[in-house]
Amino acid sequence: MSETRKLYVRSFGCQMNVYDAQRMTDTLAKEGYVETDSPDDADLVILNTCHIREKAAEKVYSELGRLKKAQEEAGRQQMVAVAGCVAQAEGAEILKRARGVDLVVGPQSYHKLPELVADAQRRGGNRRAGIVETEFPVEDKFDFLPPPTRAAINKRGPAAFVTVQEGCDKFCTFCVVPYTRGAEVSRPLPKILDEVIRLAEAGVREVTLIGQNVNAYHGLDAAGRSANLPELIRRIADVPGIARVRYTTSHPRDMDDELIGLHRDLPALMPYLHLPVQSGSNRILAAMNRKHDRELFFEIVDKVRAVRPDIAFSSDFIVGFPGETDADFADTMDLVQRVGFASAFSFKYSSRPGTPAAGMDGQVPEEEKSARIHALQALLDSQRLAFDTACQGRVLDILIEKPGRFPGQLIGRSPYLQSIVVDGPVEAIGTLARVEVHGVSTRNLSGDIRGGEFFVERPARESRFIGQSEKLEA
Ligand code: SAM
Ligand code: SF4
């Protein structure tokens, strides 16, 4: 291994970027790069960018400006790379618009990072010769990205993301993903299983399977047959050490009865479903090319609640899509009232270059968008509070993920993905604890661990965590 150098990766946007940042770090670890928490002492800074909304994309340029200024003030030489969806969408434009960028690399080329970084290093300070790698290569990057070390897995904690599917063929008219991430591709099931086994052996207890359209998963199994998401989830739930499985993001069109039934039949599948609906108006859903209407959404909600009455629903909403009238927005509010969400993400429509909606008539004025998002978020916040408040007095199993803000505090996740603060020893991180919920605030819940009892379900062979049923002093 070559000399040690420091790497700082800053991720913007979705969970897929969080996962990609880890894989980039793992790849560069082989070249002697160790992670640092500050850009100031890094030899290589990677900005892992998001292009989904204009604001997210613009953040990159302000961050590049800030980096350049800090470099000049400190008289420091750093290599700067722009990765992620802005890199894919804007490519060489980035070199023109921002000073001090050595490398632009799209999401499908992360396995090439070691050679790209070495090449950029050879070019030295000649920034005008910045490298741009945004092709969609024929090879599968996952075949070349090295797995994380045990130490890296431990550092990242007992809940991990695993990308199982990338890209999207749905072409919603507002969205850049089909252009930045390309066509929908599912990873083969055995490779995902290998990755999960490795994670579980290092102490991971919960995996969230991620993909832009995760419930359209159709990877090949060991016999070369196409496997769907329910099959993948069942196989992962069988991996020793894995106590909990989640999946995100799902599209309503791909929410079939088999997947819904799994929420009844598989205890390891957590009762939380993130199902973006975007709008409650059928007219707007059609203009968005969402391929579903509000009736299908209600039907799915009813079916899931029938098999898993306590399920927590989460969703994404866009307000102010071109042509959205007060009546369309009222339909969105009505949908929210009827469903009742435990959590949600809502956004003002942001026009994205190259997408069909950018050229549509009836762009909604900014003040109108602001008024609508304000009203929607107030309703969604009240629903979240109602869901959390209904958990008061309940006993929930939480996965303890990390230390809290104050000594003696721990932070865990409930089955419904709520953050819960409890008191307990740091050794309990990575275990499940039975917690009685007593407090609710805007940010999290708080509770007491019942009888000071921690447990690990089906511990991994070489777990760094405590053994099954072994108790810790609280
Ligand atoms: N695949 C997911 C789905 O089926 O909806 C969503 C992926 S996207 C990364 C996350 C969310 O960003 C979307 O659900 C949508 O609400 C929001 N989004 C995407 N494009 C947007 C745009 N142009 N303006 C505002 N929000 C947008
Ligand atoms: Fe974008 Fe629509 Fe695909 Fe989701 S389903 S990634 S919103 S195009």
Taking only the tens place, the pLDDT of each residue in 286-297 is 999 999 999 999
- For the chain, give the mean pLDDT: 91
Give CA–CA dist 25/43, Å, rounded.
13
State if residue 345 touches ligand 2 by the CB under 6 angstroms criterion. Answer: no
The answer, yes or no, to whether residue 430 has pLDDT greater than 70, is yes
Tokens found for residue 156: 């990242």
Banded model confidence at residue 452, pLDDT cuts 50, 70, 90: low
pLDDT digits (tens, 9 = 90+) for 364-421: 999 999 999 999 999 999 999 999 999 999 999 999 999 999 999 999 999 999 999 9
Asked whether the beta carbons of 254 and 213 are under 8 A apart, the reply is yes
Greatest Cα pair distance, the chain, in angstroms, is 64
Q: For residue 52, which ligand has an atom nearest its CA?
A: 1
pLDDT of res. 471: 35
pLDDT of res. 136: 86
pLDDT of res. 225: 97
pTM confidence score:
0.92
Question: Which ligand 2 atom lies nearest to the CA of residue 181?
Answer: 6
The sheet carrying 33-35 orders its strands as 33-35, 5-11, 44-49, 79-83, 103-105, 131-133
The answer, yes or no, to whether residue 462 has pLDDT greater than 80, is no
Mean pLDDT for the stretch of residues 301-327: 98
State if residue 175 touches ligand 1 by the CB under 6 angstroms criterion. Answer: yes
State if residue 290 touches ligand 1 by the CB under 6 angstroms criterion. Answer: no
Distance 290 CA to ligand 2 centre (A): 8
Distance 28 CA to ligand 1 centre (A): 30
Q: Which residues pair with 210 in a beta bridge?
A: 163, 248
Asked whether the beta carbons of 401 and 159 are under 8 A apart, the reply is yes
pLDDT digits (tens, 9 = 90+) for 189-226: 999 999 999 999 999 999 999 999 999 999 999 999 99
pLDDT of res. 122: 84
Question: Which ligand 2 atom lies nearest to the CA of residue 176?
Answer: 1
Beta strands in 332-428 (DSSP E): 343-348, 395-403, 409-413, 419-423
pLDDT digits (tens, 9 = 90+) for 100-138: 899 999 999 999 999 999 999 888 755 557 899 998 887
pLDDT of res. 128: 55
Mean pLDDT for the stretch of residues 247-264: 98
The answer, yes or no, to whether residue 474 has pLDDT greater than 60, is no
